[in-house]
């Protein structure tokens, strides 16, 4: 019988509330594979998925690799621990012209042959049955794992498939992701989801200065992010009036700082209402004028919930690599304008001074601007 074995990552470190992490993981697995029939049970510190439709194995494995909390998986043949059955199963593998090694683990000492002996016996089987197969102990293309368990069953698998790691989604509470259409913020959401935070997203636009296509792009991003983050409620909010007001009344060089402070205030309000305990941004130190230490201080100063910036120490290239891996890159590089680029000043300040910021803001009715902006909110449950 074919089974899929799942090894989990960091959950094994958990003490008393491990049960909570494990049951959340199981719930997430069942949700992700809801279109398929299968059984799942825990056997000896890992999960075993059985009776699944083998014709859908590729899709099932693909979905499993995107569930946070799973470290790796392997597809295994499960059979009774009998020498001849194991040999026959090894003959079914695909090992022509491959370098390989055999790794037998014998938890059940009832099985009469010692691990080392069995390694070489099975090695001979491979060499006799597969053309061009060659032993390579140190760097084999295929590691044949023969796991002889105490329950009377043996599992034969080849290379492990790495999965998403992290903590099960939803075990760390909820965070509100400030999602632009750029490369960084989807990656930031991915990393915080990987630490178990359920992700809700907020996107600011300045329609009609920004287009319908820019909005569509954000919807596509969210759709893609759902591969990992499952359900994402998206709050879409207009900052058009804010930007027009800033443009009319304030020092142009301070536009971005002022706008970002407004975004943070609005985000905190939404986060509080939705029960999100943190904001998340895609900021990376020094990447642009609004992400210098002084700028981050200036925007951070208006909120009093934690702001997670998982990319703060990342280089752009590293962020792009993750973005490609999670599939958001191709969408992020579509050329539609973001609201931050509307009314873009020629010389945005890189070191905003807080007294200047306050002086500019004293020209505004901040509360009214925020409330008007909040009144434009659209909520999409994606």
Interaction site with ligand ATP (CB under 6 A): 178-180, 182-185, 202-204, 281-283, 287-288, 290-291, 338-340
Which of the choices ligand ATP, Mg ion, none does residue 289 contact, using the CB cut-off of 5 to 8 A by kind? none
CB neighbour list of residue 252: distance below 8 Å, 6 or more residues apart: 343, 345, 346
User: Residue 276 Cβ, how far from ligand ATP at the closest point, in Å?
Assistant: 14
Tokens of 218: 């954000």
Nearest residue to Mg ion by CB is: 182
Which of the choices ligand ATP, Mg ion, none does residue 339 contact, using the CB cut-off of 5 to 8 A by kind? ligand ATP
DSSP annotation string for 127-175: HHHSTT-EE-SSS-SEEEEEEE-TTSEEEEE-S-EE---S--TTTT-EE
User: Residue 235 Cβ, how far from ligand ATP at the closest point, in Å?
Assistant: 10
Nearer to Mg ion, 137 or 344 (CB): 344
User: Residue 271 Cβ, how far from ligand ATP at the closest point, in Å?
Assistant: 13
Which of the choices ligand ATP, Mg ion, none does residue 21 contact, using the CB cut-off of 5 to 8 A by kind? none
Nearer to ligand ATP, 3 or 202 (CB): 202
Residue 45, judged by CB atoms within 10 A of its CB (0-12, 13-18, 19+), counts as exposed
User: Residue 270 Cβ, how far from ligand ATP at the closest point, in Å?
Assistant: 11
> Which residues bind to Mg ion, rule: CB under 5 A?
180, 182, 338
Look at residue 14 and give its three-state secondary structure: coil
> Rounded to an integer, what distance in angstroms lies between the CA atom of residue 45 and that of residue 27?
17
Give the up-direction half-sphere exposure of residue 293: CA atoms within 13 A in the CB hemisphere. 1
Length of the chain: 382
Contact 109, 97 (CB under 8 A): no
DSSP annotation string for 311-341: TTT--HHHHHHHHHHHT-HHHHTS-PPPGGG
Nearer to ligand ATP, 36 or 209 (CB): 209
Backbone angles phi, psi at 286, to 5 degrees: 80, 0
Instruction: Give counts: helices (H), strands (E), the chain.
Output: 13, 15
User: Residue 278 Cβ, how far from ligand ATP at the closest point, in Å?
Assistant: 13
Nearer to Mg ion, 333 or 382 (CB): 333
Nearer to Mg ion, 101 or 217 (CB): 217
User: Residue 193 Cβ, how far from Mg ion at the closest point, in Å?
Assistant: 20
Nearer to ligand ATP, 268 or 281 (CB): 281
Which of the choices ligand ATP, Mg ion, none does residue 342 contact, using the CB cut-off of 5 to 8 A by kind? none
């Amino acid at each position: 019988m074919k089974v899929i074995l799942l090894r989990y990552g960091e959950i094994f470190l958990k003490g008393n509330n491990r049960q909570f992490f494990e049951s959340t993981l199981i719930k997430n697995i069942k949700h992700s594979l809801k279109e398929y029939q299968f059984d799942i049970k825990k056997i000896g510190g890992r999960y075993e998925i059985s009776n699944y439709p083998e014709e859908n194995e590729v899709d099932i494995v693909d979905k499993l690799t995107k569930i946070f909390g799973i470290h790796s998986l392997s597809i295994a043949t499960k059979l009774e621990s009998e020498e001849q059955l194991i040999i026959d199963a090894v003959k079914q593998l695909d090992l022509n012209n491959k370098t390989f090694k055999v790794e037998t683990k014998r938890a059940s000492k009832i099985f009469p042959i010692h691990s080392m002996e069995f390694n070489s016996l099975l090695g001979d089987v491979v060499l006799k049955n597969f053309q061009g197969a060659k032993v390579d102990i140190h760097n084999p293309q295929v590691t044949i794992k023969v796991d002889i368990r105490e329950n009377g069953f043996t599992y034969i698998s080849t290379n492990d498939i790495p999965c998403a790691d992290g903590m099960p989604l939803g075990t760390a509470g909820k965070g509100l992701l400030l999602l632009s259409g750029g490369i960084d913020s989807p990656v930031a959401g991915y990393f915080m989801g990987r630490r178990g935070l359920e992700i809700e997203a907020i996107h600011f636009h300045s329609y009609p200065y920004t287009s319908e296509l820019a909005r569509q792009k954000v919807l596509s991003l969210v759709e893609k992010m759902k591969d990992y983050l499952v359900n994402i409620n998206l709050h879409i909010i207009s900052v058009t009036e804010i930007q027009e007001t800033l443009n009319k009344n304030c020092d142009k060089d301070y536009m971005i700082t002022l706008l970002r402070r407004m975004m943070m205030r609005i985000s905190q309000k939404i986060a509080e209402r939705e029960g999100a305990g943190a904001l998340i941004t895609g900021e990376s130190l020094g990447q642009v004028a609004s992400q210098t230490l002084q700028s981050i201080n200036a925007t951070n100063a208006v909120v009093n919930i934690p702001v997670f910036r998982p990319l703060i120490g990342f280089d752009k290239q590293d962020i792009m690599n993750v973005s490609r891996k999670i599939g958001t890159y191709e969408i992020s590089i579509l050329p539609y304008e973001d609201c931050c680029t509307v009314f873009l000043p020629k010389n945005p300040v890189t070191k905003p001074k807080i007294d200047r910021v306050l002086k500019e803001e004293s020209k505004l009715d901040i509360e009214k601007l925020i409330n008007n902006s909040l009144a434009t909110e659209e909520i999409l449950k994606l």
